[in-house]
Amino acid sequence: MPTLLNIGVGMLLTLASLSAFASTPRAMEWSGVPLSITLTPEQETILHLGADVRVATPAHLAPSLRVTSLAGRVYLTASEPFDAARLQVMRLSDGMRLLLDVSAKAGATTPPQIDIVLPGTATEQNLSAGEENISERDAHLAHLRMAPEALLVRYAMQSLYSPSHALEPLPGVVRSPMGLPEDIQANAFSKWRVRAKPIAAWQLGEQVVTAVSLINQAERREALDPRLVTLGGQCLLSRCAVSFSHPELGAADSATKQATAFIVTKGPLADNLLPSAH
């Protein structure tokens, strides 16, 4: 006959087992503390942030986690279990950043949609019942109040990484000729041992965003810092925007050795490059 002690121990073990796969909350608020999200492998989870964001994902997660950002939502899908890793999320309208500690565990219970409340969105959260339903047109106009640089980077990222049906239209944007050499490492990325191949460019007004594929040639992992990108032309007078699809490059022999740089310049990038040192 089981004793009360054995029964108690069994209950504790059961509770401990359940807590290991506790459900991720359906709503969270960013207050400076990293938000913990446990994904269920092969199940898509949608994060609603209420503002357009860009997500920087550690390079080593590329084989295990698919991340897409679109219209104020972040879509996360884990292909396999993995330990907690930190994602950096930046709100494009003002540069505010938040941190997500994301992991994936078999058997985890994850809600398909999670609301994340950001600072500065309290007004939107507390609208009266008659104002709650913002039309798609109003939302689109709000997006267009973003800085042209942010709009261009978002459009370029969607053009390269999102399916065509998910690409948000951006009035006035056109493909732009690049007129660049096959490798601009010596001109703009001399701080890293990489191959830097321009792949596409888009223009909105005077602003041009150029996407550059970076492939690590070094045997070690390389952190990517926008401040280390060297540019000339108008960028010597006013800072040009640089961002990366991932915060780091994996070693040359790894599956995560590639990332994409997005450089926003006034006029073509070709007019804003420093001469090659070679």
Select the more confidently predicted residue: 193 or 108: 193
In this prediction, residues 191-220 reach a mean pLDDT of: 94
**Residues of each domain in the chain carrying CATH 2.60.40.1080:** 24-146
pLDDT for residue 142: 52
Whether pLDDT at 58 is above 60: yes
Q: Structure tokens of 53? A: 């964001």
Q: Structure tokens of 245? A: 């699809």
| Fold of the domain built from segment(s) 24-146 | Immunoglobulin-like (2.60.40)
pTM: 0.57
Distance CA 121, CA 29 (A): 11
Mean per-residue pLDDT of the chain: 80
What percent of the chain stands above pLDDT 70?
Answer: 79
CB 90 within 8 A of CB 53: yes
CB 44 within 8 A of CB 70: no
* Tens-place pLDDT, residues 218-259: 999 998 888 899 999 888 887 788 988 888 888 998 888 898
* Confidence label for 20 from pLDDT (cuts 50, 70 and 90): very low
Angle CA(65)–CA(71)–CA(76) in degrees, nearest 5? Answer: 15
